[in-house]
Amino acid sequence: MDQAGADASRVAPAPDALPVSASPGALRRAILIRLRRDGPATPDNLAISIGASRTGVLQQLRALEATHLVTRHTLRHGVGRPRHLYELTDEAQELFPSNYDGLATGLLAAIGAVGGQDLIEQVFQARRRQIGERVRRELDERVGFDAPLADRVRALAVIQDEQGYLADAVLDPDGTIRLREHNCAILDVARGERSACAAELELFRDVLGVDVVRETHIASGDRCCSYRIVETQ
């Protein structure tokens, strides 16, 4: 995402009318919020509702369109120039606050209330099996099912990195292979429910087909989750 998207990120509530000296970033935020609240709008309507010039609004709409945060539709109505209607894209949703961690934590609490800890663990195990099928398929496609263990660990690190775990694989001088995750993409869930971390450990064992030992643990206060891969002799 370029500067237009960066300035628009983390949208905060906008005032009804912008001050004359409002920055381009503030104008972009105001446009995004108006489109989210009121739906598709023309540049003229946006300018009036925000209290900005039509030229300024058009300039920012073009910048937002270039970064795929808004899309434009042409409306023809009789004679004269057609009107352009702008609306948010699905990508723009990422700019607005979300509470996925809260939802996940709440769902786990509800599952526990219904079936206790046993049901929670069953849910995580079912999720592990689903993810395991996908990861095994991706590993086979990327490096092959008969690739050396070190190559499969590196490929697994790439897969985890793509999921937001800031993962890498390292090979120590003594031949020890480690998978490291420098970020926990589900930290709030992991801190409240250790079954999540247990399921991840089992996932790595399943897809690699060897023993995996967790050495450090973000949810326990360490700086990363580190897994030592133990190749069967």
Render pLDDT for 167-204 as a digit per residue (tens, 0 to 9): 999 999 999 999 999 999 888 888 888 889 999 999 99
Domains located in the chain, CATH noted = 3-95 (1.10.10.10), 100-230 (3.90.1520.10)
How far are the Cα atoms of 148, 159, 175, 189 from residue 100, in angstroms, in the given order?
A: 37, 21, 40, 10
**Residue among 8, 74, 80 at smallest CA distance from 42:** 74
Render pLDDT for 59-86 as a digit per residue (tens, 0 to 9): 999 999 999 999 999 887 767 677 889 9
Does position 6 have pLDDT exceeding 50, yes or no? no
2 CB neighbour count, 10 Å cutoff = 9
Q: Which 8-state DSSP code applies to residue 165?
A: I
Q: Which residues contact 214 (CB under 8 A, 6 or more apart)?
A: 197, 201, 225, 226, 227
Cα–Cα dist 108/122, whole Å: 11
Render pLDDT for 87-136 as a digit per residue (tens, 0 to 9): 999 888 778 876 677 778 888 889 889 999 899 999 999 999 999 999 99
